[in-house]
Amino acid sequence: MKIVRLMCTGRVDLAFILRAFSSGADGVFIGGCWPGECHYVTEGNYDALGNMHLCRKLLSQIGVNPERLRLEWISASEGTRFAEVTNDFVRQLKGFGPLADDQGAEESGLARKLEAVQKLVPYLKLVERERLRVPVKSEKAYNEFFTSDEVSSLFDGLIADKLAVSEILSLLEDRPYSTREISELMGLNPSAVSRHMNSSSRQGLVRYDEERNCYALA
């Protein structure tokens, strides 16, 4: 088991969580101070709660069980609770099986998806800062906000499409692919692939090879 110790859960960056999964971790556990008991004026545990919700949405989007990421409130004096919660999480992960089992396909596909998400981290931070800020510092407010229809719509409109494009670009790093091949490999509708490719072509990210009838990185 790999353990990374940080002084405040507010320092748990999205990139740290995704990197752990990319490195082969079957689950990520974050333990933080109880809400209202933060040791710092930043109340970083709420930042961790927001990141947890956002990261779970991302994991679900790429076919990974979001329950593989877990956040629990545990104070420094709650050693027994820490042991109980971590043991429970380990049992849960054993029930899930290896991370690759979530995909039901080759590990390279999962690696590509995780790589695509990691490349979006700077953009995700911008979206979080501008559009996903919860006005009230309470656990209930955060939980209700991130499970609301409003956030689901924002996620679909601002993140899901960019994630699909990021994954396609990662796929094209190997070799050129046709629309049909991209559609089959990613499980996307061909019309959606064409839409993403047209947009990426206008941005100068990809080019269409007419002779080979496929797309390649520009």
pLDDT tens digit string along 144-185? 999 999 999 999 988 999 999 999 999 999 999 999 999 998
Domain boundaries along the sequence of the chain: 9-138
HEC profile of the chain: CCCCCCCCHHHCCHHHHHHHHHCCCCCEEEEECCCCCCCCCCCHHHHHHHHHHHHHHHHHHCCCCHHHEEEEECCCCCHHHHHHHHHHHHHHHHHHCCHHHHCCCCHHHHHHHHHHHHHCHHHHHHHHHHHCCCCCCCHHHHHHHHCCHHHHHHHHHHHHHHHHHHHHHHHHCCCCECHHHHHHHHCCCHHHHHHHHHHHHHCCCEEEECCCCEEEEC
What pTM, to 2 d.p., does this model score?
Answer: 0.88
High-pLDDT (> 70) share of the chain, % = 94
pLDDT tens digit string along 72-90? 999 888 989 999 999 999 9
Average confidence (pLDDT) over 134-141: 91
Average confidence (pLDDT) over 104-133: 85
Least confident of 5-14, 128-137, 145-154, 155-164: 5-14
